[in-house]
């Protein structure tokens, strides 16, 4: 059983080394062109942090030397990638990469080592480091969902807006309809006013005044 575990561990390490070396083509292109173009440094900074924590875990846990060795190689590979970013990236990207390295690879890593080393002991320390490593891996592998979730919500909200527009588009009166109604009301008022007036001696006289005028004339 131990031999099987060792063989599986070696196979896993070989695969991990290949994964660490997979960006070589990208960085060869960066060095050749003298620019990082549109590449981002965050994945390499986070992978450097993950490799550092896993190396710390492998050193702390007895018998986990395979974990420590392969992730030690990962530290070297990712450190080279980050340095190349700092050399060939534009000034704004260099500043951003430097800040990320300072926060994650220096600040967070130092805090994690100090807290687990000084406040925890034995299996509790090993478990805490392992949970941190596993949590970081989950965040890294799940990070593409950060782009998918907002887009999915935006799609649902946009669809709802289109449905509401289709439902209430015909129910809402247009400005032309409102204006036409106001004009018709105005014409009706003018017609009623005109019908209640008469012309006497070239002047417009209201209907009641006409009645009085006719009554006086007849008498």
Per residue in 12-41, pLDDT tens?
889 989 989 999 999 999 999 999 888 888
pLDDT above 70 as % of the chain: 70
pLDDT at 196 over 90: no
Which residue is it, tokens 């009641």? 208
Q: Is 100 helix (H, G, I), strand (E, B) or coil?
A: helix
pLDDT at 163 over 90: no
Return d(Cα 219, Cα 217) in angstroms, integer.
5
Pairing of strands 203-206, 197-200: antiparallel
**H or E element in which residue 173 lies:** none
Of the candidates 75, 95, 77, 98, the residue with the CA atom closest to the CA atom of residue 26:
77
Q: What is the number of H-type helices and E-type strands within the chain?
A: 10, 2
Tokens of 6: 């060792």
pLDDT at 96 over 70: yes
pLDDT at 206 over 90: no
Q: How far is CA 16 from CA 12, 19, 42, 50, in A?
A: 6, 5, 19, 13
The residue-averaged pLDDT of 103-125 equals: 93
- Greater pLDDT, 83 or 187: 83
Quote the pLDDT of residue 75: 95
Quote the pLDDT of residue 189: 52
Per residue in 35-86, pLDDT tens?
988 888 888 999 999 999 999 999 999 988 889 999 999 999 999 999 999 9
Q: Is 204 helix (H, G, I), strand (E, B) or coil?
A: strand
Given a contact cutoff of 8 angstroms between Cβ atoms, the answer to whether 84 and 31 are in contact is yes
Given a contact cutoff of 8 angstroms between Cβ atoms, the answer to whether 43 and 77 are in contact is no
Quote the pLDDT of residue 53: 94
- Greater pLDDT, 126 or 176: 126
Quote the pLDDT of residue 1: 64
pLDDT at 2 over 90: no
Q: How far is CA 127 from CA 90, 147, 176, in A?
A: 40, 31, 73
**H or E element in which residue 97 lies:** helix 91-100
Between CA 78 and CA 83, with CA 57 as vertex, the angle to 5 degrees is 15
Which residue is it, tokens 């031999």? 3
C-alpha torsion angle, residues 61, 67, 69, 70 (rounded to 10): -160
The pLDDT mean for the chain works out to 78
Quote the pLDDT of residue 164: 79
């Amino acid at each position: 059983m131990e031999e099987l575990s060792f063989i599986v561990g070696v196979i896993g390490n070989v695969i991990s080394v290949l994964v660490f070396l997979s960006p070589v083509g990208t960085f060869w292109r960066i060095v050749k062109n003298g620019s990082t173009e549109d590449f981002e440094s965050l994945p390499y900074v986070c992978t450097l942090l993950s490799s550092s924590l896993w190396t710390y875990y492998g050193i702390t846990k007895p018998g986990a030397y395979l974990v420590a060795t392969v992730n030690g190689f990962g530290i070297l590979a990712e450190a080279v990638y980050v340095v190349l970013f700092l050399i060939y990236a534009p000034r704004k990207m260099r500043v951003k990469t430097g800040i990320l390295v300072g926060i994650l690879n220096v600040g967070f890593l130092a805090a994690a080592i100090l807290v687990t080393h000084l406040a925890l002991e034995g299996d509790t320390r090993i478990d805490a480091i392992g949970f941190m490593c596993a949590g970081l891996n989950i965040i890294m592998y799940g990070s593409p969902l950060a782009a998918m979730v907002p887009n999915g919500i935006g799609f649902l909200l946009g669809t709802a807006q289109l449905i509401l527009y289709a439902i209430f588009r015909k129910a809402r009166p247009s400005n032309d309809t409102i204006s036409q109604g106001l004009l018709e009301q105005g014409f009706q008022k003018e017609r009623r006013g005109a019908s209640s007036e008469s012309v006497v001696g070239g002047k417009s006289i209201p209907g009641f005044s006409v009645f009085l005028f006719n009554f006086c004339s007849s008498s």
